[in-house]
Amino acid sequence: VISLSQAFACIGRTEGGSVLGDLFGYQRIPRPLSIRAQLRALEGNHFHVNVICVAPEDWPTWTTHQICHALQFTRDAFGTVGIGLGRIEWYAIPSDQAGSYAIITGWSEASDLTASWTVPNDGLDLFVVRTIIDSEGESAIDGSCDKNAKGMTGSVVELYEGADDYAGNGFAHEMGHYLGLDHVPIEGNFLGGVDGASNSWSGVLDWQGERMKTHCLMRRGWQ
Ligand SMILES: [Zn+2]
């Protein structure tokens, strides 16, 4: 397994950093974490994520825990097929700039949100909103790596009080779409169920992993 200093270099922390805040990208420990598993993730196939919180000023305190939990849920699910989440960076769009995007209604508003803001780096832009009306998440399928491209250039997810794994599926599910996957009618799969209603499921099939590994956001190796 690579060393901690190699891992920090991989995520752009050449001077080193904190294990929780930088290596994992969390503000608190959401569920059991394996440092060894995270080092292995950075050694192999992984992608970086920008968590962009939309109008978070008035969010209740459980939301921070849930976002960290949902990211780790995704790490644990994707880890079963040899895919990791590398660097996680946190951003916020303040309420006075987010305006009506604080609550998203459907695909076109979600798409507009991703077109209106972007983080100019090589990470997947994951927009977290408190509530999406008429949907549980939106994402491009096989999304662009050119964030100035037309259309949806990120994934949009929402939060659920008291349902951390449900939110976790939403994070994994929408990022799975961005990385090239469509729904599959398989119970237990993170993209399964009827019309993509995948509940709290975390199963990832090998072929789904192989497909995601071909996406342009995917990095291979720690350098
Ligand atoms: Zn879906």
pLDDT at 150 over 90: no
> What is the per-residue pLDDT across 11-67, written as a single tens digit (0 to 9) for each?
999 888 999 999 999 998 999 999 999 999 999 999 999 999 999 999 999 999 999
pTM: 0.96
Ligand 1 centre to CA of 152 (Å) is 14
Please give the pLDDT value at position 223. 62
* d(CA 136, ligand 1 centre) in Å: 8
Q: What is the pLDDT of residue 51?
A: 98
29 Cα: distance to centroid of ligand 1 (angstroms):
28
Q: How far is the CA of 27 from the centre of ligand 1 (A)?
A: 28
Separation of alpha carbons 34 and 83, rounded Å:
15
List, for residues 61-107, the tens digit of each pLDDT value: 999 999 999 999 999 999 999 999 999 999 999 999 999 999 999 89
Helix, strand, coil percentages for the chain (3-state, nearest 5): 40, 20, 40
Q: How far is the CA of 78 from the centre of ligand 1 (A)?
A: 16
Ligand 1: distance of its center to the CA of 177 in Å? 7
- The predicted pLDDT at position 149 comes to 87
99: left (phi over 0), alpha (psi -120 to 50) or beta: left
| DSSP letter string, 56-95 | -TT--THHHHHHHHHHHHHHHHHHTTTEEEEEEEEEEE-H
Report the alpha-carbon distance of residue 157 to residue 173 in Å, rounded: 9
Distance 172 CA to ligand 1 centre (A): 10
% pLDDT > 70, the chain: 100
Distance CA 201, CA 172 (A): 10
The Å distance, Cα 166 to ligand 1 centre, comes to 13
**Tokens 């976002």 belong to residue:** 67
Q: 127 - beta bridge partners?
A: 52, 156
Answer yes or no: are the C-beta atoms of 118 and 149 closer than 8 Å.
no
| Ligand 1 center to 132 CA (angstroms) | 14
- Cα 135 versus chain centre, distance: 17
Q: How far is the CA of 14 from the centre of ligand 1 (A)?
A: 37
Ligand 1 center–CA 198 separation, angstroms: 8
**Interval 200-219: pLDDT, tens:** 999 999 999 999 999 999 99
Q: Where are the alpha helices (DSSP H) in the chain?
A: 4-10, 35-43, 62-79, 95-98, 106-116, 164-178, 206-213
Mean pLDDT of the chain, nearest integer = 95
The pLDDT tens digits for 160-183 are 999 999 999 999 999 999 999 999
How far apart are the CA of 183 and the centre of ligand 1, in A? 6
Q: How far is the CA of 36 from the centre of ligand 1 (A)?
A: 31
